[in-house]
Amino acid sequence: MLRSVRPNILVIGGADVLASTVSTLVAVLPGPVSYLPPNAPPPAGDDDAEMLVVPDIASLSQNRQREWVRWLSDADVRHPQIVATSEVPVYPLVTSDQFSGVLYYRLNTILLDMQTADESPARKSRER
């Protein structure tokens, strides 16, 4: 399914886990890959990537989030598969209006929550 449909994937976990998971996805899925810097705008129309790696989406500014929603909603633009990453769970940011719900669900076709028990918010709150 990942090769034929090419759904967007959101990966959540620690830095080491994110790096290894993204490396595995890039190795398994064919085509050119573009690695964007944190808080980067959507790519220009001349990018031929089949996959975009968008790091640290939890840190996207509100304006940048709106740019991504507009770009993803533009039917005239070819959209590569997006692999977005975050070291923190993004859904709590959605529920507190710090992250766009529309963008979250567009990037989160498949959620790979790679947090270990030590990293999970539930465990951290129990330890307080």
- What residue spans of the chain are helical by DSSP H? 15-28, 62-73, 91-95, 101-107, 121-127
pLDDT at residue 100, rounded to an integer: 97
Q: Which two tokens stand for residue 114?
A: 């790679």
The residue among 9 and 122 whose pLDDT is bigger is: 9
pLDDT at residue 120, rounded to an integer: 57
The residue among 90 and 122 whose pLDDT is bigger is: 90
Q: Is the dihedral of CA 100, 61, 82, 114 positive or negative?
A: negative
Q: Which amino acid, residue 28?
A: V
The residue among 73 and 48 whose pLDDT is bigger is: 73
Weakest mean pLDDT among 19-28, 48-57, 87-96, 114-123:
114-123
Query: Mean pLDDT across the stretch 8-37?
Result: 92
The residue among 81 and 45 whose pLDDT is bigger is: 81
Weakest mean pLDDT among 8-17, 48-57, 71-80:
71-80
pLDDT averaged over the chain?
86
Considering just the CA atoms, what is the radius of gyration of the chain in Å? 15
Sketch the domain layout of the chain as residue ranges: 11-41+48-83+98-115
Q: How does pLDDT run across 63-119, given as a tens digit for each residue? A: 999 999 999 998 777 788 999 999 999 999 999 999 999 999 999 999 999 987 665
